[in-house]
Amino acid sequence: MSTMTLDERRAHPRIPCARPAKVFLPATLRFAAAETADVSDGGALVRIDADRLVRVGERIEVAIVQPGAPGSGLIESKSMRPARVVRVTPMDYFHQAVALAYDDEDTLANAA
């Protein structure tokens, strides 16, 4: 039986960082404010401010503000990139930690 840890199974190393982000939730046709907890080439862990619980397997779009980006964190819709929800942890009534897997590895460069 394997004793591999979650970190050893990851295809991409995680980088802890807190950056403003936003997500588009197609199920509600709404945008929600978010903040990253960590990012990698393959995905991100984000805290989403939304009262509707996101579901594992759900398709959403995400954009992450780059450090020093002009516009004080303004995120344009064209910056949104597709991702799949792989894990959801409710934090309280209005916040949830959501693990995302990007549709392609170019997404981090384009989303951040």
pLDDT in tens, 18-54: 999 999 999 999 999 999 999 998 999 999 998 888 9
Q: Let me know if residue 2 belongs to a domain.
A: no
pLDDT in tens, 42-98: 999 999 998 888 999 999 999 998 777 666 567 777 789 999 999 999 999 889 999
Tokens of 7: 């970190």
> Range of 49's domain?
12-69+76-111
Domain CATH code at residue 26: 2.40.10.220
Q: Let me know if residue 56 belongs to a domain.
A: yes
CB–CB of 13/27 below 8 Å?
no
Count of domains forming the chain: 1
> pTM surpassing 0.85?
no
CB–CB of 29/60 below 8 Å?
no
